[in-house]
Structure 1
């Protein structure tokens, strides 16, 4: 069933868990996530990031995502992740996305504030929810960059007092905080500052906190982040990697002279991603 980000964040808050938010820039990923959520009977967020446009256009995959959410047996929020322009956000809203994220983290605070206000105004017209980002995870959503460890000096940790003003002035529904995570593959063990999450929550009337760069975080740190108030975890890199590994295993299993089928490779990727997603969902829901 189609749900807004506010709908699933309410469930997360009541249960003191986090809801997984998974990028679905292809049909195999979309099937994997929806099936995993239904089997575990958990709400879920499916999302598409603007940087994935070269893989498949939003205009093509977006309506498919919305339709899949409507037919699902569990609450599914359809979210635009890291929307970099207001025009792109509007495209998602027009096709029925129930949540959008405006990413103005590379802009000045003032520009981020003003554009986020505009995004909230746009979303209000369709009843969609809005996530925004304050601070910087260092590397962008694509994972591009040379370093994802603690020495990444492009990271800007979220200032809780600035977050209070930002949330009050924009009226956003969820805030992506920078507290030590990074997009992409971790090259060193991340050192997370959970006090950032706790302090932002305390000063913003318990706004749901979003963790970006969730792949590769330890089970113990996930639990600490959730206990601190993280209610949405973005997760894709290791899910995508599991699909790639499954394809490699399938290719290596085909004996010389035997046919190699794309359909078999895609199913292997789908099944592997589904198991990876289920494990992540259980972790976020504190089920194990």
Structure 2
């Protein structure tokens, strides 16, 4: 079933857990994440980032995301991730997505505020929720050895977080406090004190981007301090590739369909562990 991001965040807040937001830009990842959600019985976010247009367009995979989530008995949010402009987010909402992130974090601050406020007004009129972002993170989704280390000068400042939320009306806030997108070059150093300060200042649930590659205890420490949504993609996509490579080496693999099945299984196992790591302490699985 389709639910709103606010409903999912409220569930995570009430139960003291984290909301898994999994990017699914290929069909095996989408099916696998649906599998995990139906087994777990907790809300999960199915996300598609604008940067993944190089793999498949939102017009192609978006309707499948909405249809599969709608027909399931498990609760799913369908979310535009890292939307770069209001028209792209409008496209996602027209398809049936229930929430969106507008990422103006690389723009000048006042420009980010104005863009985010415009997206909030448009989305709220449609009953959709909005995630904004201030602060910035480096990225390493393609294994670039020159990337994958957090830059403390780009961390989100609490006073700015408070101002941004008040002026834009976002429903949750993506912030920078030590994670990076993609693969890490070294062990992440998360600023837990900053997370607590940001949560108090912002007054809305915090979102962690760059959720791949952390230890379960690191997820838990962030959740305990106010993070309620954690984004995940790179390691799930890597799990699909690893499983596909294993399938290709098998003597009984004759057609691509066999490889696709193994890729789905690889994502299912990896995302299942991720969702379990974010579950309330009593365990949801």
| 2:169 counterpart residue number | 171
| Shift, 1:169, TM fit | 0.7
| 1:221 counterpart residue number | 218
Q: Does 1:120 align with 2:117?
A: no
Cα separation, 1, equivalents of 2:140 and 2:95: 25
| RMSD over aligned Cα atoms | 1.6
Q: Structure 1: 5+ residue runs without aligned partners?
A: none
Q: Structure 2: 5+ residue runs without aligned partners?
A: none
Cα separation, 2, equivalents of 1:176 and 1:37: 23
Indicate conservation of the 8 Å contact 2:145/2:185, yes or no: no
With structure 1 as the length reference, what TM-score do the two structures score?
Answer: 0.94
| Shift, 1:141, TM fit | 6.9
Q: Does 1:237 align with 2:231?
A: no
| Shift, 1:252, TM fit | 1.2
SS of residue in 2 equivalent to 1:116: helix
With structure 2 as the length reference, what TM-score do the two structures score?
Answer: 0.95
Cα separation, 2, equivalents of 1:43 and 1:91: 24
**Structure 2 counterpart of 1:247, from 244, 249, 252:** 244
| Shift, 1:85, TM fit | 1.2
| 2:74 counterpart residue number | 74
Indicate conservation of the 8 Å contact 1:77/1:99, yes or no: yes
Cα separation, 2, equivalents of 1:142 and 1:48: 17
| Shift, 1:149, TM fit | 2.1
| Shift, 1:140, TM fit | 7.4
SS of residue in 2 equivalent to 1:7: helix
| Shift, 1:69, TM fit | 1.2
| Shift, 1:139, TM fit | 2.1
| 1:278 counterpart residue number | 272
| Shift, 1:235, TM fit | 0.6
Number of equivalent positions: 282
Q: Structure 1 residues 247, 141: closer, same or farther in 2, change over 3 A?
A: closer
SS of residue in 2 equivalent to 1:46: strand
Cα separation, 2, equivalents of 1:48 and 1:146: 26
SS of residue in 1 equivalent to 2:54: coil
| 2:191 counterpart residue number | 193
